[in-house]
Amino acid sequence: MSEYVLLAAAAILFVGSHFLMSHPWRADMVRRFGANGFLGLYSLVSFATFGWMLFEFGRVAKGDVLWPARDGVWMAASVLTLVAAVLFSGSFIRNPSLPGVPDAMAGQAPFGVFKATRHPMMWGFALWGIAHILVAPRIDNFIFAGSLVFLALVGSKAQEIKKRKLIGAEWDAWLRRTHFAIHPVALFQVGIGPWVAGIILWAAATWAHPYWNVAGAGLFRWFSF
């Protein structure tokens, strides 16, 4: 297990720095560095810690899998990553959770992918992580992808607490109008735009898997185009 120590350390630093800078340290850092300085430092630390985690994930030995990834598992993972791509693609439009977006945006009616969940970007990351754990259930992947799933879902809940304090009544109204977990039926009500963008992103990402020395994914696992 010692071979996973550095990967685990990088994952803890990546996740921990996100939570610390987003919550207990945020106000003091904004006072010290200003809003733009804080965002710059936050981004620098995030990219640096994620880069370290990615480096350790790439160099650590790949151990045995805990279960075989048969076609059924790959199909489930393909569906999850497609939904993740749709949610992620639509999350940049009228998202009240993004930095710099006016607080009044929380008073809008749910739009696009926000009909399915109020955290489409975070669920996109979480579904991506879950899918990759399913098809590669190794210890290194549980650490790497699992840290992304944890950060996305626990971070979403922590963000809601912070937004409630900052925005108040409008955010509470937004919570009442939207879902935390993905509403499956609402996925078909998000509009054509997120689906088109998501399918393009999903197709490109799955097509590119061999360039990362990974077996074909999505439709490219079974079909050649």
In percent, the amount of the chain with pLDDT more than 70 equals: 94
Residues 33 and 137 in one domain: no
Residues 155 and 76 in one domain: yes
- The boundaries of the domain holding residue 35 are 1-61
Residues 107 and 69 in one domain: yes
Residues 154 and 69 in one domain: yes
Domain count, the chain: 2
**Cα–Cα separations (whole angstroms), residue 1 to 8, 14, 136:** 10, 20, 18
pLDDT tier for residue 173 given thresholds of 50, 70 and 90: confident
Distance between CA atoms of residues 133 and 145, nearest Å: 7
Segment 105-141, tens digit of pLDDT? 666 788 899 999 999 999 999 999 999 999 999 999 9
Segment 35-64, tens digit of pLDDT? 899 999 999 999 999 999 999 999 998 888
Give the model's pLDDT for residue 170: 81
Distance between CA atoms of residues 168 and 57, nearest Å: 40
Is the Cβ–Cβ distance between 60 and 3 less than 8 Å?
A: yes
The SS3 of residue 180 is: coil
Residues 13 and 78 in one domain: no
pTM: 0.90
Give the model's pLDDT for residue 55: 96
Residues 186 and 78 in one domain: yes
In percent, the amount of the chain with pLDDT more than 90 equals: 68
Segment 190-224, tens digit of pLDDT? 999 999 999 999 999 999 988 877 777 888 888 76
Distance between CA atoms of residues 80 and 68, nearest Å: 18
